[in-house]
Structure 1
Amino acid sequence: MEIGLMARKRYSDEDVLRLLREIELSLASCSDVATACRTAGVSDATYYIWRKRFGGMGRSEMANLKALQKENDRLKKIVAELELDKLILKESLDYLKPKA
């Protein structure tokens, strides 16, 4: 590994919410963003990205978001299967039509 390159950490959504709360508490005690982020172990750019994505979200909203994402994935799969069925039926119909 080259010097200066750090391994990239992956945080769960719950960890992100916890770190955001921790940074917000540091900011409330008159700390600046860079210092609060450094204390939490993330860059200020990461903080702004997380805040944009999860800002103001609590655990219950996170659970609702995950449930909605799961339902959305299920519905997308159903639509894809129906599109495939439609394509198969259309090709079958074209094959069965008498050629004039």
Structure 2
Amino acid sequence: MSKKRFKESEIQRILQEYKEGTPIHEIIKNYGISQATFYNWKAKYSRPSLADIQSLNKLREDHDRLKRMFADLSMENLMLKSQLKKKESQ
């Protein structure tokens, strides 16, 4: 039996089929791979990469910073509105 090499993009496509609901036994049959190979690919390629984790952390930091900015501006807006109401009532 000859050994076929799959490119990483092909492996990702195969794993995407699994995520979309295709049963494992169909994937194994269609691509001529063993069950062990499929599970090895799943373990290796389904985890987020270091770059993905770093970009996610950066996005979380940006999100937190924007939330703080929004909260500060909201508080400032409320204070200005209350000062304006005090001036109008006088």
TM-score where L is the length of structure 1: 0.45
| Higher relative contact order, chain-length normalized (CA < 8 Å, sep 6+) | 1
TM-score (normalizing by structure 2): 0.49
Structure number having the greater helix percentage: 2
